[in-house]
Amino acid sequence: MMELTHEFGHGLVQRKALAERQNIPLGFLEMILLSLKNAGLIGSRRGAHGGVFLIKSPREVTLGQIIRLLDGPLAPIACVSQTAYQKCQDCPHAATTTCPIQRIMLDVRNAISSVLDHYSLEDFVFPQKRGPSKSIKQKRGSRATKVKAPVHSS
């Protein structure tokens, strides 16, 4: 997605060249590209001058969307997942809503989501466009706390 972001609006990226630059097998890349295409994030053209390209602007696609699509839920445990919820089978608190682990893991999931959904592909690939690190505000109880968003270097 980083390479497609660099090429956004300029042209297509050939699959074989992309696989070679990323040092991954072409078949594995094809599976990733199919998932991205089915989600409406990329398009493709066949032929000698074909390749893949971003459909949406890099500023419209969040890192959270990509990670959820390719790796699954952001939640550290299934009982706090928004997209793949499952009761914990071995938890003595599974029948109640007072599980102490669940409360903490919900905070962890919310923090992870907040950060990853805050950054777009454009922010990630072109951090200079974003400017200095921005703070992400999170509500915690009745007070608001600031979590410093990480700064990524290329």
User: Exposed/middle/buried for 127, CB within 10 Å: 0-12, 13-18, 19+?
Assistant: middle
- List the CATH code of the domain at 1-56: 1.10.10.10
- What pLDDT does 101 receive? 79
Domain ranges of the chain: 1-56, 65-154
User: Residue 146: phi, psi to the nearest 5?
Assistant: -105, 135
- What pLDDT does 103 receive? 81
Mean pLDDT of the chain: 81
- What pLDDT does 152 receive? 41
Q: Considering all CA atoms of the chain, what is the largest pairwise distance in Å, rounded to the nearest integer?
A: 59
Average pLDDT over residues 146-152: 44
pLDDT tens for 53-88 read: 999 999 999 999 999 999 888 887 777 777 777 677
Classify the C-alpha dihedral 119-123-127-129 as positive or negative: negative
- Structure token pair of residue 38: 């089915």
148, 135 in Cβ contact below 8 A? yes
Distances (CA, A) of 133 to 18, 67, 102: 30, 21, 31
Higher pLDDT, 133 or 28: 28
Q: What is the number of residues in the chain?
A: 154
- What pLDDT does 85 receive? 75
- What pLDDT does 130 receive? 67
d(CA 148, CA 154): 19
pTM equals: 0.71
pLDDT tens for 102-132 read: 888 888 889 999 999 999 999 989 888 766 5
